[in-house]
Each structure stands twice: as C-alpha cells, then as structure tokens.
Amino acid sequence: MFRRKAVRFAAICLSKIRGSALLSSVLARIRSAAVLGIDAYLVDVEVDIARGLPSFATVGLPQGAVKEGRERVYAAISNSGFEFPLKRITVNLAPADVRKDGSAFDLPIALGVIAATEQDSPAPVSDGGRSFEEYAVVGELGLEGDVRPVRGALPVALGARQAGLKGVIVPTANMAEAGVVDGMEVFGASSLAEVAGFFRDGRPLARAEVDRAALFGHVAQDDVDFAEVRGQEHAKRALEVAAAGSHNLLMIGPPGSGKTMLARRLPTILPEMMLEEALETTKIHSVAGVLPAGASLVTVRPFRAPHHTISDAGLIGGGSFPRPGEVSLAHGGVLFLDELPEFRKNVLEVLRQPMEDGSVSISRAASSLCYPARFMLAAAMNPCPCGYYGDPVRSCTCVPTMVERYRARVSGPLLDRIDIHLEVPAVPYRDLANDRAGEPGAAIRERVNRARVRQQERFAARPGIFANAHMTPRDLRRFCKVNAQADALLKAAIAKLRLSARAYHRILKIARTIADLAGAADVEATHVSEAVQYRSLDRAAG
C-alpha cells in the first residue's frame, strides 16, 4: 500500500511540474534549411524550454547525426561562455513529417537554446540587432563552439532566396560556395559566439563576395593535351564530333591502342560550362560532399572514372541515406568506363534509364528523390578477352564462343543507346616515332565551341537542352530535315544494317552535329555518310 501511495504522489508531483512548465515555458524559433535530393527546403527550428526534470528531446523525424547533435550543442554552448539550462528542452524541426539528416542543425539549435533562455535576446532591428525571421542558419558545431562546414550550402542559399529571406549564415568554409547566389546576403561564421552577437547587436560577420565571371574560363585537365596523341586521326575526329554534340562514345580496340589516353583528353575539348549547368553540377557535388573546401562554382566539366568493381548503388546513387552516384557526379561532364565488359551486368543495365532521361529516380519507402545525370558516356573495351581479335599483326587466341560471351556482357539495348561506336586500331610505328606534334586541343575546342554556339541559338526556346544529343523526336523532326539524297542514304543504311528506331534517331543527331561543325544549315548526304560510319557494331551485326 505504501508503494502505491508513493507512486501516486510522484505522479501528482510530476503533473504539477509539467503544468507549471506549460505556464512558464519560453519558445524561440530559428530559420534553417535541409536538403532533399539536390534542392533545399526551409526548416523552422523551434526550441521550447520549460521547468521540469532536465532533458533534451529532438522531434520532427531526426536521424542519427541530428540526434547526436544534442551532445555537441551542450558542449558548444558551455564552452562559448553561455549557460546551458538544466531544464526540459524540446526541439521541433518543422515540417515534422520529413526526415532530417546531417549535422547542419547544430548551429540553429544552439542559437535557439541561447535565445530561449534570454541570454542573448536579439535587440530591435533599429538598435542594430537582426531578426531571426530574416536569415537561414546552418552549421555543424565543434565542442569548443567553432562552426564547421556542412554539405549543401549552395542549395540552402538558393532555397532561402526562393523563400524570400534576406540572407543566410553558413560556416566560413562554405562562404565561397553559397556566395555565388545573387540577390541576398551571405555571411560566414567561425564560432557560435559570433552568430549570437550578430543577432544580438549586429556584430559584423564576414560577408561573401564572389565574382562569378572570374570563375569561368578554366579548362579541364590542362596537364594533358590532344597534341600528345600520335596518329589516330579518325579517333580524334570522332571525339571532336562527340564533344560538339555531347554524344555517348564507345571505343573498341586492342590493348595499348590509346583508348584511355583519348578518353582522358576528352574533357579538354569540351566547351565551357554555362551558369545554369555550373549551378546544377555544384549542387550535386555539394550534396555529395565532394566539393573541395573553400571551392565556389564547379566550372570545369567533371571527369569521373569509376573502377569496374563499383556497385550499382555507387554508380547510380542511393543507399540507406540516398546520395548521388557517379552518374550524377559526372553531370555536365564525362563518365569514363574503362574495360566496359568487366563491369557487372546489373551495374551496366542501370545506366540505361539515366542515359535516356538525363536523370536518376531513386524511390524509397520514406521518399522519392531525383538527381540530374546528364553526362557524356565514354567507354572503352577490347574486341575479345585476349584483345587481338581482328588485329592484322597479332593473332587472336580466343575461340569464337569466348568472343561471343565476352561481347554479350554488354547488352544490345545498352549498346543501342551509345551514339558513336569507334574502332581504335593499334598505332603504327611510323606514327609513334613521328616527332611532329598533333593538333592541339585548343584548336579542336574552338571548333567545338562554335558548334555549341549554333546549338545554343537553335535551342534557345527549349530549356534543359544544351546539345544535339539531348534532342527529343519532336526536335529531330524540326531541326534535322534531310534532302532527298541524304534520305536515300539513310534508307539504305537502315535496310542493310537493320537499325532500330533509336539508332536511326541517333544517326540523325550525329549528322546534325557534323553539319554544325561544318557550319552547314541543313543536314546533307556527306554528313549522314560520316554519321553512319560511327555505327561499327551495327555494321558488324549486319
């Protein structure tokens, strides 16, 4: 009986404590943001401090790093000269029905705790203080109160501007990244005390000043150049066509013929990125956490070359907490798959949808995400397991069944989505021994740029289309009209090579690119003839 009375007495006391807490609780609200996919949405960090047994609860679907943040917040507040309240603290991350991940909520939660305990209440704006409602705050806290970089600073700044906020406060290391967003204030903070002083009495924070025009004009991999490639003039021409129209490319040849060497020089002849492309690519790299510290915009087209042991999630993206894969990290640039048949078949098959749509859709029970994945695929493979099938000098040691099994590792539907199939033969000795340098990449890039300018003018009214390879069937009917001679050539090629409708469309796109390189307004028979030559696997099948 005594035990029941004691339990009842404790329950009554606890209810009274909670009742009094409701009457005396203090609430603070800090604006923050979270990233979903590659875009950000605003999150209200609501901090309620009430009298009661000391506790710290975070609600609003927080995940691991957010839950662990309470220990970092406690230490950072205590070590920054503020008093951590030994009361019942409740933190709500609204909207509460979306999962929150990452450490970027440390700073706004700590700021909310300080504000709710009225240790650093913001002064009126007229007296130099700043309003919590006008700024989005993100940052990870160290135990000493220092502010550390976070992922997704650029999407956060873009999301805050879209929501009509006055500015954002990000870690100092993220200033250059967030500072490329025009039309808003971007401040960098190095400590919790600095941010608290900013809102209390308007203490100055470092403000980001980024000259976006100065970021452009860089070329990928300046340490390599096409002038170093001896011979292979046919292959160089094919890469020029691929770069001019952003076409996918497959190189087939024996070991040592220069396939990898050519692929690594492909980014050096690609045109400069446009602002829209640079922003989207930077958002992907920022969310993935691969943007170098202190970097701003990604203005050099990326070159990604994953190993053939990569998993399908590593290539396409996903995981328990979805992250962009290699196809998205190569957005706007080149995805190079060396030794294509060595990749697992299920890994290669997941490429088909992003190659067609230019995006990756990842569906999970909790959410569905979409990552951009508009890349140039450059792949290389040997003609057979030993590598010398069809070589005029060295004999092949593979039996026909081995060759068939080797080539069958790359499915027909995937090959059909690759625009250019290029045979890269071994380099003759006379070309290897020739001391004369080849055509420099700068000259090739100049022709590619001129072709891309024509395409930009052509697709000015078609948002999201930057090159001929991105055309839809409707665009083909409008921009790829052929004369009677070219039409007859196409008809003969389809009949002889038994081309699919997709292959037919890709030949038209390549022909349109060849015409742009030549400065021709219409697609002529000579352009179609060269485009057909870039379907070597179709010729072999025919």
Q: Looking at domain 226-470, which CATH architecture does it have? A: 3-Layer(aba) Sandwich (3.40)
Average pLDDT, the chain: 87
Q: Is the dihedral of CA 34, 331, 416, 389 positive or negative?
A: negative
Q: Which of 91-100, 222-231, 299-308 has the lowest mean pLDDT?
A: 222-231
* Tokens (6 digits) for 540: 């072999």
Q: Which of 3-7, 189-193, 351-355, 457-461 has the lowest mean pLDDT?
A: 3-7
Domain ranges of the chain: 26-207, 226-470
Is the pLDDT higher at 435 or at 174?
A: 174
Whether 482 has a pLDDT exceeding 90, the answer reads no
Res 521: pLDDT? 87
Residue found by looking up tokens 């001129």 in the block: 450
**CA 15 to CA 24: how far, in whole Å?**
14
The order of strands in the sheet holding 376-381 is: 303-304, 334-337, 376-381, 249-252, 420-423
User: Which neighbouring-strand residues pair with 136?
Assistant: 31, 168
Q: How confident is the model at residue 217 (pLDDT cuts 50, 70, 90)?
A: low
Amino acid identity of residue 59, one-letter, is: V
Is the pLDDT higher at 68 or at 541?
A: 68
Q: Name the pairing type of β-strands 317-318 and 323-324.
A: antiparallel
For the domain spanning 26-207, the CATH number is 3.30.230.10
The model carries a pTM of 0.86
pLDDT tens figures, 47-70? 999 988 999 999 998 988 899 999
Given phi > 0 = left and psi -120 to 50 = alpha, else beta, which region is 404?
A: alpha
Is residue 119 within 8 A of residue 251, CB to CB? The reply is no
Question: 334-361 burial, b for 16+ CB within 10 Å, e for fewer?
Answer: bbbbbebbebeeebbebbebbbeebebe
**CA 473 to CA 501: how far, in whole Å?**
10
